[in-house]
Amino acid sequence: MKGFKGISFLILMGLILVLAACGGGDDESSASEDQSSSSDTSEKVVLEASNWDFDQEEYQAKAGDVTIELVNAEGMHGITIDELDGFELEGEGSKTVELEAGEYTVRCSIPCGQGHADMVTTIQVS
């Protein structure tokens, strides 16, 4: 009987440790919320990507800090912007960049099938 209680105690303690380790996800989401609330003063462009197409042929933004967000409505996509060296979003997410007035060409960066090469849109910044 003592052996059963000892094993039960060890199993219970192990379960508690596992559950405690899995419960720490809230801190990361709080940090993400803090970052997004600090960028609320910038322009925001939301590009919705589906297979072989963006939801708009052209997006509009004002010059300055612009948050560019990618939402994958269908399939897996990423984006690059020709005029911004090193800008890339792989999958869903967002980045804030400073944009001057002009036209920016956005391309899907993850091969998504037969129409991938035509998956291009622009952001007009004024």
Same domain? For 4 and 34 the reply is: yes
Same domain? For 18 and 49 the reply is: no
Instruction: Please give the residue range of the domain that contains residue 10.
Output: 1-38
- What's the whole-number average pLDDT of the chain? 80
Strand partners, 50: 53
Same domain? For 34 and 77 the reply is: no
Is residue 54 classed exposed, middle or buried when 0-12, 13-18 and 19+ CB atoms within 10 A define those classes? buried
Least confident of 33-37, 58-62, 80-84, 99-103: 33-37
Domain count, the chain: 2
pTM, entire model: 0.67
State the pLDDT at residue 33.
Answer: 38
CA 63 to chain centre: 22
- CB 115, CB 53: distance < 8 Å: yes
3-39 pLDDT, tens digit each: 666 676 666 555 554 444 444 444 443 333 334 444 4
